[in-house]
Amino acid sequence: MTRKVFVAGHRGMVGSAISRLLAKDKNIELITAAHSELDLTSQKDVHEFFAEHTIDDVYLAAAKVGGIHANNTYPADFIYQNLLIETNVIGAAHAVGVQKLLFLGSSCIYPRSVEQPMRESALLTGVLEATNEPYAIAKIAGIKLCESFNRQFERDYRSVMPTNLYGPGDNYHPENSHVIPALLRRFHEAKNLEAPEVVVWGSGKPRREFLFVEDMASACIHVMSLERNVYEANTQGMCSHINVGYGSDVTIGELAFAIAKTVKYSGSIIFDSSRPDGTMRKLMSSERLFSMGWSPSTDLEEGLVIAYEDFLNSPLREV
Distance in Å, CB of 282 to ligand NDP, minimum: 10
Using CB under 6 A as the binding rule, the residues of this chain from 89 to 108 that contact ligand NDP are: 104, 106
Is position 134 an interface residue for ligand NDP (rule: CB under 6 A)?
Answer: no
**Distance (Å, whole) CA 237 – CA 148:** 9
Using CB under 6 A as the binding rule, the residues of this chain from 92 to 151 that contact ligand F7E are: 106, 108, 132, 135
Q: Which one, 74 or 290, has the nearer CB to ligand F7E?
A: 74
Is position 65 an interface residue for ligand NDP (rule: CB under 6 A)?
Answer: yes
Helix (H, G, I), strand (E, B) or coil at 211: strand
Distance in Å, CB of 225 to ligand NDP, minimum: 19
Please select the residue that binds ligand F7E; options are 7, 17, 18, 68, rule is CB under 6 A. Answer: 68
Interaction mask 2-21, ligand NDP, x per CB under 6 A:
-------x-xxxxx------
CA dihedral (165, 169, 171, 174) in degrees, to 10, reads 100
Which of ligand F7E, ligand NDP, none has residue 6 at its interface (CB below 5 to 8 Å by kind)? Answer: none
Please select the residue that binds ligand F7E; options are 12, 15, 67, 303, rule is CB under 6 A. Answer: 67
Cβ burial, residue 276 (10 Å; 0-12/13-18/19+)? middle
Distance in Å, CB of 194 to ligand NDP, minimum: 31
135 is an active site residue: yes
Closest alpha carbon to 96 in 30, 163, 32, 47: 47
Q: Which of 59, 110, 135, 166 is catalytic?
A: 135
DSSP 216-244: HHHHHHHHHHS-HHHHHHHSBTTB-EEEE
Q: Which one, 57 or 190, has the nearer CB to ligand NDP?
A: 57
Is position 145 an interface residue for ligand NDP (rule: CB under 6 A)?
Answer: no
H/E segment holding residue 89: helix 75-95
CB-facing half-sphere around the CA of 239: CA atoms within 13 A: 13
DSSP 126-190: SPPPGGGHHHHHHHHHHHHHHHHHHHHH--EEEEEEE-EEESTT----TTTS-HHHHHHHHHHHH
H/E segment holding residue 208: strand 207-208
Instruction: Confirm whether residue 216 is marked as ligand binding.
Output: no
Chain residues in the site for ligand NDP (CB under 6 A): 9, 11-15, 35, 39-41, 61-65, 81, 85, 104, 106, 162, 164-165, 171, 178
Known binding residues are 9-15, 104-107, 139, 162-165, 178, 186, 201, 208, 277
What residues act catalytically?
135
